[in-house]
Amino acid sequence: MIEEKENIQFELTDELIEQVELYVETQNDKELKRLLNDYHHADVAEILDELDLEDSVYVIKLLDSETTSDILMELDEDIREKVLKHLSAKEIAEEIEELDTDDAADMIAELPEERQAEVISKIEDNEHREEITELLAYDEDTAGSLMAKELVKVYETWTVAGCLRRIRGQAKDVTRVHSIYVVNKEEKLIGRLSLKDLIVAKSEQKISDIAKDNVDFVNVIDDVEDVAKVMAKYDLEAIPVVDDEQTLLGRITIDDIVDVLKEEADKDYQLAAGITQDVEADDSILELTRARLPWLFLGLVGGVGAFLIMEGFEEAFKGKAFVLFFFTPLIAAMAGNVGVQSSAIIVQGLANDDVKGSINSRLIKEMLLAALNGTILALFLFLFVWATKGDFTTALAISTSLIAVIIVAGLIGTFVPLFLDKRGIDPAIATGPFITTSNDIFGILIYFWIARLILGI
């Protein structure tokens, strides 16, 4: 039955792509179908991502909509948009018919507004059309935007035997049966069952006797990130979605949550690196510029600030303390690094809900930590400056300032994300260039100010 596979990982080779291109060029539809049918739809999507647009459209139009609907969902977003432009509203509606309601709604939502209504009107299955329209009405980032209408629902009054008979029908539409949801006659969620419970039970038992009443659920307007946290924390593979009256509306499955978690992690990572929009390495230069330039501009403004500060201290340090200017990159780098470290720990802690206690206790801890790190680093710097410059006072001034700079940088890096979080702003923006730039300026200012005090200039 099963063939030995060397490795589960599908490998996208140049030969494979050339083979597909050749079949498309020569319009060898039979061989093309045979070749692509061997691959999982996610793998076919990877192949199409590499083809020219017209070749991809050719393949999509050639294969059955049962397969192509899944392939389309797996395509790179930009490429899907382009492919859909080349399909008629009728053709898109045929793809939509094959998709689960959550994927169907996602695909429609990506279309330009004027096409959405047209495509929806071409969906033949009335129930499917109504369900998709319902899903499209929920706000992005709510549980409603993530849920699917497909689920297996039984009434508490049914018997196990009757239930098994009836869900045979329902289950055909549902790709995976995670849980069977038990509702009362008002369609309110009152419990859950697994297929296993049903199989293990006696056929004459009533559903209400074997249902588990400790069913977790989310409200349709709950935030997607909260849903992800709940599902990850309680190890759930699906969760039912209800409205304020506890009416069962749909369910969210773990594979969608995996995507949410991944997007969230990618976004935080990019923010920490100073990238403002969701971009990929393969996006166009203009898109990448739009995502990168704003933070760079902030860095430029910070650099000009640093210039003004240094110029302000020019007269004071000209002459024997001139060497202090040569340590400003070091001071700025240390202030930036310490700030990014402390803000990253806070941002991650906030995301994982494990930052407890007051802001004050956090700041005291960070101060002690920064003082410890700062003293160790300052000692090395002191020895270096003293050894190379032979001037005890200068070495003392530079290294003492470094300790102060590190402490202030740590405090800013800790305080800003905590403050933003209290204000309901995503603390992740307070990492990377934001903290680096503000810490550069504060760091250099503190450095010159303390050095001047110590040198008595």
Binding residues among 56-115 for a copy of itself as defined by CB under 8 A: 76
Q: How many residues bind a copy of itself (CB under 8 A)?
A: 127
Record the tokens describing residue 383, joined without a space: 């020895």
Q: Within 13 A of 294's CA, how many CA atoms are on the CB side? A: 13
- Alpha carbon distance 178, 171 (integer Å): 11
Give the containing element (helix H, strand E) for 180. Answer: strand 180-183
Q: What are phi and psi of 100, to 5 degrees?
A: -65, 155
Record the tokens describing residue 247, joined without a space: 């009416």
> Which one of the spans 92-100, 107-115, 117-125, 229-237 is the region binding a copy of itself (CB under 8 A)?
229-237
Residue with tokens 């297929």: 195
Q: Do 132 and 144 touch, CB atoms closer than 8 A? A: no
| Residue with Cβ nearer a copy of itself (35 or 333) | 333
> Which one of the spans 52-60, 79-87, 125-133, 364-372 is the region binding a copy of itself (CB under 8 A)?
364-372
Q: Do 242 and 147 touch, CB atoms closer than 8 A? A: no
**Contacts (CB under 8 A) with a copy of itself, residues 233-272:** 233-235, 237, 246, 254-255, 257-259, 261-262, 265-266, 268-270, 272
Q: How far is the CB of 126 from a copy of itself (least distance, A)?
A: 25
- Residue in 61, 82, 176, 320 binding a copy of itself, rule: CB under 8 A: 176
Coil vs helix vs strand at 193: strand
Residue with tokens 């400003």: 328
Taking CB under 8 A as the rule, does residue 427 contact a copy of itself?
no
Taking CB under 8 A as the rule, does residue 330 contact a copy of itself?
yes
- Residue in 90, 380, 392, 422 binding a copy of itself, rule: CB under 8 A: 380
> Which amino acid is located at 410 in the chain?
G
Cα-based angle 157, 158, 164 (whole degrees, multiple of 5): 160
Taking CB under 8 A as the rule, does residue 344 contact a copy of itself?
yes
What proportions of the chain, in percent to the nearest 5, are helix, strand and coil?
Answer: 65, 5, 25
| Residue with Cβ nearer a copy of itself (9 or 126) | 9
Taking CB under 8 A as the rule, does residue 207 contact a copy of itself?
no
Q: How far is the CB of 166 from a copy of itself (least distance, A)?
A: 11
Q: How far is the CB of 92 from a copy of itself (least distance, A)?
A: 22
| Residue with Cβ nearer a copy of itself (288 or 457) | 288
| Residue with Cβ nearer a copy of itself (117 or 383) | 383
Q: How far is the CB of 438 from a copy of itself (least distance, A)?
A: 11
Q: How far is the CB of 24 from a copy of itself (least distance, A)?
A: 20
Taking CB under 8 A as the rule, does residue 419 contact a copy of itself?
no
- Residue in 16, 33, 35, 50 binding a copy of itself, rule: CB under 8 A: 50
| Residue with Cβ nearer a copy of itself (116 or 205) | 205
- Alpha carbon distance 108, 117 (integer Å): 9
Q: How far is the CB of 32 from a copy of itself (least distance, A)?
A: 20
**DSSP type of residue 10:** -
Q: Sort strands 248-253 and 218-219 into parallel, antiparallel or unpaired.
A: unpaired
Q: Do 212 and 237 touch, CB atoms closer than 8 A? A: no
Taking CB under 8 A as the rule, does residue 137 contact a copy of itself?
no
| Residue with Cβ nearer a copy of itself (113 or 213) | 213
- Alpha carbon distance 125, 339 (integer Å): 56
Record the tokens describing residue 144, joined without a space: 């409603």
Record the tokens describing residue 296, joined without a space: 């760079």
Q: How far is the CB of 349 from a copy of itself (least distance, A)?
A: 4
Q: How far is the CB of 29 from a copy of itself (least distance, A)?
A: 23
Q: How far is the CB of 190 from a copy of itself (least distance, A)?
A: 5
Identify any residues that bridge with 251 across adjacent strands, giving them in sequence order: 148, 240
Give the containing element (helix H, strand E) for 241. Answer: strand 238-242
- Residue in 42, 53, 117, 425 binding a copy of itself, rule: CB under 8 A: 42
| Residue with Cβ nearer a copy of itself (384 or 419) | 384
Give the containing element (helix H, strand E) for 189. Answer: strand 189-193
Taking CB under 8 A as the rule, does residue 293 contact a copy of itself?
yes
- Alpha carbon distance 89, 213 (integer Å): 45
Q: Do 324 and 397 touch, CB atoms closer than 8 A? A: yes
| Residue with Cβ nearer a copy of itself (38 or 140) | 38
- Residue in 177, 210, 316, 455 binding a copy of itself, rule: CB under 8 A: 177
- Residue in 217, 415, 442, 448 binding a copy of itself, rule: CB under 8 A: 217
| Residue with Cβ nearer a copy of itself (89 or 232) | 232
- Residue in 376, 383, 425, 453 binding a copy of itself, rule: CB under 8 A: 376
Distance of CA 229 to the CA centre of its chain: 13
Per-residue H/E/C for 315-333: HHHCCHHHHHHHHHHHHHH
